[in-house]
Amino acid sequence: MAVKNIAITDTLETFRTTFNDLAANDFGDIANLSGSISATNLVEAMNETISIATSTAGWTIEDSTSTTQLIGGGDVLRVLGTSNEIEAVVSAVDTLTIGLPAAVTVTTSLTAPTLTGGTIQLTGNTITATDSTAISFASENLITTGTINGGAITGTSITGTGATHTLGTVQISGNSLSSTDSTRLNVNDTFRANTFESQTGLLSIDESLGFPRISSTRGDKIAIIDIVPAFQGSSLIFEGSSEDANETTLTVSNPTADRTITFPDNSGTVITTGSTDAITESMVAEDAIGQNELKSVVQLQILNSSGTPLKTLYGAGA
């Protein structure tokens, strides 16, 4: 650039125009200065340029936002990895290795068509195992506010929230099992329980003392059986008022035809062949015993003077 002089005799306007021309044409527009130059004045910029130019040929790095940085001889490029996000390793010769650590932390989100970790694969809304085995959540809880759809659900326990849980039309509320459509519950297999009770607990079926037992909690112990029972066995055993080693057995002989035993419509005690002195006078009707009811009949006749029987008395033979 040419040297510009301002004489002592020049006017202020000459000084102004000469200075402005110097700044615009000789120095150039500072906005056009390369961004790789960090100096803020001409002298420092020249020194920085000379340092780069006189050193080993430099090179420029640029990021995804088009921001550039000139790297010259003697400069150091530092690649710093963030813990659990990226690893940068410098090795000989002139090698920079950038990779991921064993455990990667993503602070916001990770997006890909398919993500695979070990044998677990995530594609879209589907989680699968690449080796086609079961996916285990170990001892962790699996919580969802939505619906679990699928085949068989197997586990040591299934716990839900709320007061009522529903499987199909069967619902569980606390210790109560019922149907949502108010129909009966069907058990198509053998059903076992320690004790079966009726709705209010008046009737129970259990195995007390090793015997199957049907009992009533009513004070009078009444249980109505509204059926015609047909017992396969030949005996009924009654325990009595206390459970002990003594029982009363009611048994029948094997019938060869249909038989009917009728109990009369009155109260009393059943008389058996083992009863002794059980028949009282009130139990025998007048004229109920005649000669046909006596095992061995002896006649005592009272005769008149002509030998005609006036009265005949019957008595048991000796």
Per-residue confidence in pLDDT tens, the chain, 318 aa: 566 777 888 888 888 887 777 655 566 666 777 777 777 777 787 777 766 665 556 677 888 888 887 776 677 788 887 778 888 888 887 788 888 888 888 888 888 889 888 889 999 888 999 888 888 888 887 788 887 777 777 777 777 667 888 888 888 888 888 888 878 888 899 999 899 999 899 999 999 778 888 889 998 888 888 887 777 677 888 887 787 888 888 888 888 998 898 988 988 888 888 888 888 878 877 776 666 666 666 777 888 888 898 888 776 665
In sequence order, what DSSP letters do the residues of 8-53 get, joined into one string? Answer: TT--HHHHHHHHHHIIIIII--GGGS-TT---SSHHHHHHHHHHHH
For the chain, the C-alpha Rg in angstroms (whole number) is: 58
pLDDT of residue 272: 87
> d(Cα 314, Cα 300) in Å, to the nearest integer?
6
Cα 150 to chain center, whole Å?
14
pLDDT of residue 203: 92
Q: Which tokens in the block code for residue 208?
A: 């007390």
Q: How open is the CA angle 123-128-133, to the nearest 5 degrees?
A: 165
For 116, half-sphere exposure in the C-beta direction (CA atoms, 13 angstrom radius) is 6
pLDDT of residue 55: 56
Query: What b/e string do you get for 68-77 counting C-beta neighbours within 10 Å, with b at 16 or more?
Result: eebebeeeee
The structure's pTM equals 0.39
pLDDT of residue 197: 92
pLDDT of residue 292: 64
End-to-end C-alpha distance for the chain, whole angstroms: 176
pLDDT of residue 73: 66
CB count in 10 Å sphere of residue 45:
16
pLDDT of residue 302: 86
> d(Cα 70, Cα 68) in Å, to the nearest integer?
7
> d(Cα 223, Cα 203) in Å, to the nearest integer?
8
